[in-house]
Amino acid sequence: MIRRIGRWFDSRLHLAQPAREALNHVFPDHWSFMLGEIALYSFVVLIITGSFLAMFFNGSTAHLIYHGPYRALDGVEMSAAYQSVLHLCFGVPAGLLIRQMHHWAALIFIGAIVVHVARIFFTGAFRRPREINWWIGLTLLVLALSNGYFGYSILGDLLSGAGMRIGYSMMLSIPIIGPWLAFLFFGGRVPVDVTIPRMYGLHIFVVPAAISVLLALHLGIIWRQKHTNYPGPGRTDHTITGSRIWPTYTAKSIGLFFLVFAVIAALGALVQIDPVWIYGPYDPIAILPGAQPDWYLAWVEGAMRLFPGVNIYLGPYLIPEVFFPGILFPVLFFIVLYLYPFFDKFITHDNQPHHVLRHPYEQPFQTALGCAVFMFLFVLFVAAGDDVIAVATGTSVVTIRLILRILVFVAPAVTGIIVYGLCILSRHRHARGLERALESASAEGRLISGENEVTQ
Amino acid sequence: MSEGEDREARKGAWLLMMFALGWRMVTGRSGKSRRVTSAEAAGPRDFPLPSGRDADTETQAVTSGRERWGTLLVACSLIAAIAAGIGFLFIYWTDGGNKLLGGTLALSFAGFGIALILWSHFLMAHREATEPLEPLLSPEEDRQTAADDFCAGARDVKRRSLLKLMIVAGAGVFAAMFVSLLRSFGAPIEPALYQIVWSRGQRLMTADNKPVSIHSLKPGDSVTVFPEGSIGNDHAQTVLVRVKEQFLRLPADRADWAPMGYLAYSRVCTHAGCPVGMFESQTNLLLCPCHQSTFNVLTGAEPTGGPAARPLPQLPLYADSEGLLRAGGRFSSIPGPGFWGGQQ
Ligand code: FES
């Protein structure tokens, strides 16, 4: 039967050879190589759940009065968008589950990408020949972040309206082109009715399409270049070691997909997320204390909170204070990430193609830098919740902010120094261990294979 | 209820256990040592011919006991998956709660996932394959021929330089056509951004459209007001507070802006546009809930803490003959977050 089907396709597409190559493709086994897969599979979940939601969501800001199963908002004026979300949560079978799964999948998608990028960074997997995939991956991260923002901005609840307004203010603050850009993107001075429909279009079509195309490229390039591998006996830059795609790897990978789906379903079922019905419809007059953005935007939010309130002028022109932490900082951060492969080339004087990864301790400076940056981002992340922390600990926001303003510089520096020391230590230990192994091996008259092992 | 919660908790624990098990399987940290194959021991240079299963060196170690256990485990997880799936169907069709619905969905998917992973772990041969990597850079002559082919084709284009120029011009026009379509998305900036709402003589109205008089507030109170005729206008939203007159420390040119200790400020935060909705009467501070900027109402809403750098625009007030509060003019500056060219 399989042979008959195969013959049918082969006689039309000439597939036998490529199929055989695909089945025998070698993929290395390591848990950290699955982070990207988790991201991929959460994206699949996002597409599946998102398609369901799109059938019910109404991206319109038309005003209406709510009458529906959610009693607490009966008779309240709201946008059609918000009303459709309420209907989805309370009137559609499995609607709430799918919506919560969608939101959780988005958080996991971005989380998996971030950890994946960190793995790539710390193991030097961005080095030649994989720079293109590093850039594509970073672009995917940027797209994922923006789509997350669009996604929660379109619901028409109070929290999303506040987020939209802050996003508008950030874009508005860009020198010279800010007002034009903000009016072009948001369609006027926020809150304005045209924003939700256009963000909806971006959220369900433009950005996902871009993500899909780049994802296909990303995977195609991995397929073409083959995967990297960790250093070890027999691992060289001229070979690849791992298991074949078919069947072991396929089974594991599909199994992983089901597990990712299961975890997202469990979270969607058991852990409430973005309960928009509690926030109420967006009202530009209403306030929502203790509001927090989704975790992946918290670093920018934290930076905005810690940045001092100073007026900075360029000649007679004001550069609003949100520009520096809200726009300049994230943009510079990503530019540095995009350019990092060149920087690495510059400090290591190494422009050779690599397929064996670099242990983090082999490049103490980079590892220390990476950890320091993560610590920096973590302090900013904490700062995004400074008001919540203040309430929880009974201290004033001013005190907490002062501590965080110090920590934001001290903690990364300390982290960097400690990590640098640890790297040097383990480099020594590793070198000693290698020496001993070499000695004992030569004593036994054995040959150590794999020149890549002798790194230092 | 507690019984239901109990069931949820048990389900959660199961889920966690199964996930942990699955994770161990996936990551391959199952205590099984991976043997070095003879191909590796022989070093990277002398490879058997690439690709094809026969070339693999197998480290297969499937014992029958292992196989039996594996089959049993796979069968168990598949049964669990199917049972949970049927449970899902039942709960879905009977409109059961979100937790049960998602729980059964999760269990059924977890069952399938774990079954697949167990299957690959116990019931599939574990071969570690090593293959050579072709260098990515093509041989010199391949690159040369590709470049030659391209240049040969390009020569035909190069000869027609006038046509080429026109093609470039056409492309430019195309680009301009597409880019100019962006116009449809924008909105005129001038009226919206520079609008300084309020005008002299407008009464201050509460959100339920009642005028505010000099008797409306006690010192320490606050209320949100709008210009009459624009109730609910977000750009015009204004916070009216009353303080004891003797505490006022307004700039000299605003000395008569606060009759009887009534002060009015734009309610749109100068930081990022959130409504500055909280008034702390003890400290006389207006607080923005978004990033906790504070503004001192006594000194003209100068920022005293948080990330905001500019004061809230102030609205001059006066009381008319009936004792109703009216705007004495416009806001002292453009309300809302800062922008290029928007400073006063
Ligand atoms: S918007 Fe008011 S402090 Fe940021």
Tell me how far apart the terminal alpha carbons of chain A are, to the nearest angstrom: 55
Do A387 and A260 lie in a common domain? Answer: no
Residue A296 lies in a domain: no
Nearest CA among A35, A45, A114 for reference residue A262: A45
- pLDDT tens figures, B145-165: 999 999 988 887 777 788 888
Residue B38 lies in a domain: no
Residue A169 and residue B272: Cβ atoms within 8 Å? yes
Do B208 and B266 lie in a common domain? Answer: yes
B312 CB under 6 A from ligand 1? no
Do A272 and A379 lie in a common domain? Answer: no
**Contacts A–B by Cβ distance under 8 A:** 312
Do B210 and B293 lie in a common domain? Answer: yes
Do A336 and A445 lie in a common domain? Answer: no
Residue B301 lies in a domain: yes
Residue B28 and residue A355: Cβ atoms within 8 Å? no
CB contact set of B216 (below 8 Å; sequence gap of 6+): B223, B325
Nearest CA among B275, B272, B332 for reference residue B299: B332
C-alpha span between A92 and A48 (Å, rounded): 17
Query: Side chain identity at A91, as an amino acid letter?
Result: G
Tokens of A389: 């922390």
Do A140 and A198 lie in a common domain? Answer: yes
Do B213 and B275 lie in a common domain? Answer: yes
Q: Mutation test of ligand 1: which of B286, B293, B294 has the most ligand atoms closer than 8 Å to its C-beta?
A: B293
Last residue of a domain, one of A332, A358, A384: A358
Do A387 and A338 lie in a common domain? Answer: no
Q: Decide which of B286 and A449 is more confident.
A: B286
Last residue of a domain, one of A358, A377, A406: A358
CATH of residue B258's domain is 2.102.10.10
Of B44, B115, B337, the CB nearest to A234: B44
Tokens of B88: 């899902």
pLDDT (mean) for B19-32? 52
Residue B224 lies in a domain: yes
Q: How confident is the model at residue B76 (pLDDT cuts 50, 70, 90)?
A: very high
Residue B308 and residue A353: Cβ atoms within 8 Å? no
C-alpha span between A159 and A172 (Å, rounded): 20
Tokens of A3: 């042979």
Residue A313 lies in a domain: no
Do A71 and A200 lie in a common domain? Answer: yes
Amino acid B52: pLDDT: 41
Residue in chain A closest to B121 (alpha carbons) equals A248
Q: Decide which of A235 and B49 is more confident.
A: A235
Residue B30, pLDDT > 50, answer no
Do A347 and A397 lie in a common domain? Answer: no
Domain total for chain B?
A: 2
Residue B307, pLDDT > 50, answer yes
Are A322 and A170 within 8 A, CB to CB? yes
Residues in chain A closer than 8 A to B53 (CB atoms) = 24, 244
H/E run at residue B315 = strand B314-315
- Only one residue has tokens 């099984």, namely B32
Nearest CA among B266, B264, B239 for reference residue B318: B264
Query: Side chain identity at B319, as an amino acid letter?
Result: A
Q: Name the minimum distance, in Å, from the CA of A310 to any CA of chain B.
A: 5
Residue B20 lies in a domain: no
Do B211 and B295 lie in a common domain? Answer: yes
Exposure on the CB side of residue A281, measured as CA atoms within 13 A: 24
Amino acid A141: pLDDT: 98
What parts of chain A have a pLDDT lower than 50? 447-456
Do A411 and A324 lie in a common domain? Answer: no
Last residue of a domain, one of A358, A376, A410: A358
Sign (positive/negative) of CA torsion B3, B4, B6, B7?
positive
Do B59 and B173 lie in a common domain? Answer: yes
Query: Side chain identity at B280, as an amino acid letter?
Result: E
Do B212 and B180 lie in a common domain? Answer: no
CB contact set of B248 (below 8 Å; sequence gap of 6+): B258, B261, B263, B298
Do A109 and A151 lie in a common domain? Answer: yes
Do B247 and B302 lie in a common domain? Answer: yes
- Beta strands A26-27 and A239-244 are antiparallel
Amino acid B128: pLDDT: 85
Residue A269 and residue B272: Cβ atoms within 8 Å? no
Residue B106 and residue A269: Cβ atoms within 8 Å? yes
Residue B120 lies in a domain: yes
- Domain containing B270 equals 204-327
Amino acid B313: pLDDT: 95
Of A96, A261, A353, the CB nearest to B98: A96
- Domain containing A410 equals 363-456
Do A370 and A433 lie in a common domain? Answer: yes
Q: Name the minimum distance, in Å, from the CA of A204 to any CA of chain B.
A: 18
Exposure on the CB side of residue A79, measured as CA atoms within 13 A: 28
- pLDDT tens figures, B216-246: 999 999 999 999 988 988 999 999 999 999 9
Residue of A45, A103, A189 to mutate for B, most B C-beta atoms under 10 A: A189
Residues in chain B closer than 8 A to A243 (CB atoms) = 126-129
A250 phi and psi angles, rounded to 5 deg: -60, -45
- Only one residue has tokens 């009977």, namely B94
Residue B212 lies in a domain: yes
CATH of residue A177's domain is 1.20.810.10
Residue B119 and residue A251: Cβ atoms within 8 Å? yes
- Average pLDDT score over chain B: 84
Do B232 and B175 lie in a common domain? Answer: no
Residue A103 lies in a domain: yes
Do B153 and B212 lie in a common domain? Answer: no
Do B240 and B302 lie in a common domain? Answer: yes
Amino acid B65: pLDDT: 82
Residue A293 lies in a domain: no
Do A89 and A138 lie in a common domain? Answer: yes
Tokens of A365: 């400076």
CA of B274 to the centre of ligand 1 (A): 6
Residue B46, pLDDT > 50, answer no
Amino acid B29: pLDDT: 45
Amino acid A106: pLDDT: 97
Residue B104, pLDDT > 60, answer yes
Do A329 and A405 lie in a common domain? Answer: no
Do B210 and B306 lie in a common domain? Answer: yes
CB contact set of A298 (below 8 Å; sequence gap of 6+): A292, A380, A381, A384, A385
B115 phi and psi angles, rounded to 5 deg: -60, -45
Please give the C-alpha separations between residue A357 and each of A122, A130, A133, A433, B138, in angstroms, as whole numbers: 9, 12, 15, 19, 23
pTM of the full predicted structure?
Answer: 0.89
Residue B47, pLDDT > 60, answer no
- Average pLDDT score over chain A: 92
Residue B42 lies in a domain: no
Domain total for chain A?
A: 2
Do B288 and B176 lie in a common domain? Answer: no
Residue B180 lies in a domain: yes
Residue A177 lies in a domain: yes
Q: How many other C-beta atoms are found inside a 10 Å radius of the C-beta of residue A343?
A: 12
Residue A258 lies in a domain: yes
Residue A232 lies in a domain: yes
